[in-house]
Amino acid sequence: MSIETLQNYIDGQFVASSSSETIDLISPVDESVVGRSPVSNRADVDAAVSAAERAFQTWGRSTPGDRQAALLKLADAIEANADEIVEAQCRNTGQPKAIVRAEEAIAGANQLRFFAGAARMVHGLSAGEYLEGFTSYVRREPIGVVGQVAPWNFPFLMAIWKIGPALATGNTVVLKPSDTTPESTLVLARLSKGILPDGVLNVILGTGETGAALVEHPVPGLVSITGSVRAGIAVAESAAKQLKRSHLELGGKAPVVVFPDVDIAKAAAGIAEGGCFNAGQDCTAATRVIVHESIHDEFVTALAAAAQNLRPGLPDDPDAFYGPMNNINHFNTVIKKLQGLPPHATVVTGGKQWGDKGFFIEPTIISGVHQDDAIVQEETFAPVITVQPFSTDEEAIELANGVRFALASSVWTKDHATAEKFTRALDFGCVWINCHIMLTAEMPHGGFKQSGYGKDLSIYGVEDYTRIKHVMSAHD
Q: pLDDT for 391-412, tens place per residue?
A: 999 999 999 999 999 999 999 9
Helix (H, G, I), strand (E, B) or coil at 411: strand
pTM reported for the whole predicted model? 0.97
For the residues 74-96, what does the mean pLDDT come to?
98
283 is catalytic: yes
Compute the distance between CA of residue 139 and CA of residue 127 in angstroms, rounded to an integer.
10
Compute the distance between CA of residue 205 and CA of residue 43 in angstroms, rounded to an integer.
13
pLDDT classification of 1: cutoffs 50, 70, 90: low
If one counts every other C-beta atom within 10 angstroms of the C-beta of residue 462, the result is 23
For the residues 430-449, what does the mean pLDDT come to?
97
Compute the distance between CA of residue 86 and CA of residue 89 in angstroms, rounded to an integer.
5
Q: Which helix (H) or strand (E) holds 85?
A: helix 82-93
Mean pLDDT of the chain: 97
**In this predicted model, what pLDDT tens digit does every residue of 172-187 receive, in sequence order?**
999 999 999 999 999 9
N- to C-terminal Cα separation, the chain = 76
Catalytic residue among 103, 249, 362, 379: 249
CB 16 within 8 Å of CB 36: no
CB 430 within 8 Å of CB 440: no
Burial (Cβ within 10 Å: 0-12, 13-18, ≥19) of residue 278: buried
Catalytic residue among 283, 362, 379, 430: 283
**In this predicted model, what pLDDT tens digit does every residue of 131-181 receive, in sequence order?**
999 999 999 999 999 999 999 999 999 999 999 999 999 999 999 999 999
Compute the distance between CA of residue 212 and CA of residue 149 in angstroms, rounded to an integer.
9
